[in-house]
Amino acid sequence: MINLGMASLRLYAGLVGCRSGFCARSLRTLSGMTVSQGTRDYNPKQMAIREKVFNTIISCFKRHGAENIDTPVFELKETLTGKYGEDSKLIYDLKDQGGELLSLRYDLTVPFARYLAMNKVTNIKRYHIAKVYRRDNPAMTRGRYREFYQCDFDIAGQYDPMIPDAECLKIVHEILSELELGDFRIKVNDRRILDGMFAVCGVPDDKFRTICSTVDKLDKMSWEDVRSEMVKEKGLSEEAADQIGQYVSLQGGMDLAERLLQDAKMSQSKQACAGLTDMKQLFSYLQLFQVTDKVVFDLSLARGLDYYTGVIYEAILTQTGPVPVAAAQNGAGEKAEEGVSVGSVAGGGRYDGLVGMFDPKGRKVPCVGVSIGIERVFSIMEQKAEASAEKVRTTETQVMVASAQKNLLEERLRLTAELWNAGIKAEVMYKKNPKLLSQLQHCEDSGIPLVAILGEQELKDGVVKLRTVHSREEIDVSRAKLVEEIKRRTLDV
């Protein structure tokens, strides 16, 4: 029976506003050995896959010169309020704990902006990997949870236009390519282009954000449904909605930005022209970074978060084969030019005004960043591992110290200690007189590549019999050279 402890139970009980509620029934569910909705446990195989993905992402972030930071898992409620548009309803609030109204963090971007303002940081390239919390309707098969990791990379500081933005897109391209998840596209747009488009199409100023949130649903809903929501629920005129429809169907690259700069309506908006000029500059840098083969300028991309002020982007996995069962069941089978969309795996953009919201004097720090949708990546990697015959190792043990005869426990422990002290990852079986077959079987099951076998004759000769598990080849190695030989044979472990 798992003992959560009273403090942990109080924290769980402090979560309020959850759509499913948290009550005595939820506590009974916990005692019944299940986890709460939208969360999950991870077994060693799953954790090995996650660690591999994390290492790939962190390596990329470090390759681009990023530093690591951390922030509290909960923030003052006022810190998070009003930053996420219609998604603010998904924030987990905590009960009053003695005067402070607190909420679990919804993402890592707003806490980062608060960190910059509070610590008067005006220049940093940082990454942050941590859990966030959302009162969303979970879809476990698509990697949508209420508790999940985000992997963020952000560049804060005053720089020339589009250079940091282009690097963020390059990072997305590198990570998705290295993880080998399948074909992908990175859609880009600009909030200034969107706002300019809304203005020339006749959208009232006070409806910009709410219409933007509706346009953001185009990856999940048909244009007819989006148009219906804009007209019937948001009160937009049919004429304005139809004009928006003509623009949000457009996709291209630098050529599209050039064409829109000549567009009779869009050219009337200074805001849109500024965004389109920067979009041209962005694509020129992306050409230098050699990533334009995967990047498309897409006017339907909106991203509903209120804090974006400039370039926005989203990476989507596509495939040319059949839609996976899990994806088909969750409505992820929308047709795309390159294949079938199976969901967003990264997103981000520029948010130049967010830090100023937390600074007493309103001082702004321009920022741009990207967040990798790591849970969806994990789900895909786990499905690939299940479909593959390749065994996933859950430990990094290089060698098992075994004995072929009885009464050699002390010698096994002595050799194991020598290996540990030399930095070798070694295991020993916790029995006085284990059978050799059992020790070898453990290596087979765990994927341990080598076995160091001790016997009375080996002890007399000052050697260790080193066995390669997969080939069953055995050689005698002198005790003095054992560490060197193990390292040589396990360079890739």
In the chain, what are the domain boundaries?
6-387, 399-489
208 pLDDT band, cuts 50/70/90, is confident
Helix (H, G, I), strand (E, B) or coil at 100: coil
Residue 304's pLDDT is: 66
Binding residues: 107-109, 134, 150, 154, 303, 307-308
Residue 32's pLDDT is: 60
> Who has greater pLDDT, 475 or 205?
475
Render pLDDT for 407-420 as a digit per residue (tens, 0 to 9).
Answer: 999 999 999 999 99
Residue 342's pLDDT is: 59
Q: Which of 114-118, 353-357, 374-378, 429-433 is predicted least confidently?
A: 374-378
Question: Which DSSP string corresponds to 17-83?
Answer: --TT--SHHHHHHHHTT---TT-----HHHHHHHHHHHHHHHHHHHHTT-EE----SEEEHHHHTTS
Q: Do residues 378 and 53 touch, judged by C-beta distance below 8 A?
A: yes
Q: Do residues 242 and 224 touch, judged by C-beta distance below 8 A?
A: no
Q: b or e along 122-133 (b: 16 or more beta carbons within 10 Å of the residue's beta carbon)?
A: eebbbbbbbebb
338 pLDDT band, cuts 50/70/90, is very low
Beta strands in 134-173 (DSSP E): 147-156
Q: Give the pair of three-digit tokens for residue 324.
A: 């996976």
Q: Which residue bears the tokens 């591992």? A: 385
The DSSP bridge partners found for residue 450 are 399, 468
Residue 392's pLDDT is: 87
Q: Which of 334-343, 369-378, 439-448 is predicted least confidently?
A: 334-343
Residue 135's pLDDT is: 87
**H-only helix segments in 161-288:** 163-179, 191-200, 208-215, 223-228, 238-248, 254-261, 270-288
* Residue 37: how many other CB atoms lie within 10 Å: 16
40 pLDDT band, cuts 50/70/90, is confident
Three-class HEC string of 439-476: HHHHHHHHCCCEEEEECHHHHHHCEEEEEECCCCCEEE
Q: Which of 68-77, 201-210, 339-348 is predicted least confidently?
A: 339-348
Q: Cβ-count burial of 479 within 10 angstroms (0-12 exposed, 13-18 middle, 19+ buried)?
A: middle
Q: Residue 317: enclosing H or E segment and its boundaries?
A: strand 311-319
* Residue 184: how many other CB atoms lie within 10 Å: 22
- pLDDT beyond 70 at 337: no
388 pLDDT band, cuts 50/70/90, is confident
Q: Do residues 207 and 316 touch, judged by C-beta distance below 8 A?
A: no
Three-class HEC string of 343-372: EEEEEEEECCCCHHHCCCCCCCCCEEEEEE
Q: Do residues 443 and 391 touch, judged by C-beta distance below 8 A?
A: no
Q: How many residues does the chain have?
A: 493
Domain 6-387 - what CATH class? alpha beta
Smallest CA-to-CA distance from 483 within 452, 442, 441 is with 452
Which of 135-144, 313-322, 425-434 holds the top average pLDDT?
A: 425-434
Render pLDDT for 235-249 as a digit per residue (tens, 0 to 9).
Answer: 989 999 999 999 999
Q: Do residues 276 and 266 touch, judged by C-beta distance below 8 A?
A: yes
* Domain 399-489 annotated CATH 3.30.300.180: no
Binding residues for L-histidine: 107-109, 134, 150, 154, 303, 307-308
Q: Which residue bears the tokens 């498309």? A: 296
Give the CA-trace dihedral at 445, 450, 455, 457, to 10 degrees. 150
Read off φ and ψ for residue 370, nearest 5 degrees: -140, 145
Residue 141's pLDDT is: 60
The amino acid that residue 297 corresponds to is F
Smallest CA-to-CA distance from 154 within 375, 372, 376 is with 372
DSSP-derived pairing of the beta strands 102-104 and 74-76: antiparallel
Contacts 24+ apart (CB under 8 A), 23-27: none
Q: Give the pair of three-digit tokens for residue 453.
A: 């076998």
The amino acid that residue 88 corresponds to is S
Render pLDDT for 148-187 as a digit per residue (tens, 0 to 9).
Answer: 999 999 999 999 999 999 999 999 999 999 999 889 999 9
Average pLDDT, the chain: 86
Read off φ and ψ for residue 453, nearest 5 degrees: -105, 125
Helix (H, G, I), strand (E, B) or coil at 91: coil
Helix (H, G, I), strand (E, B) or coil at 421: helix
Smallest CA-to-CA distance from 162 within 64, 280, 49 is with 280
Q: Do residues 30 and 36 touch, judged by C-beta distance below 8 A?
A: yes
On whether the pTM is more than 0.85, the answer is no
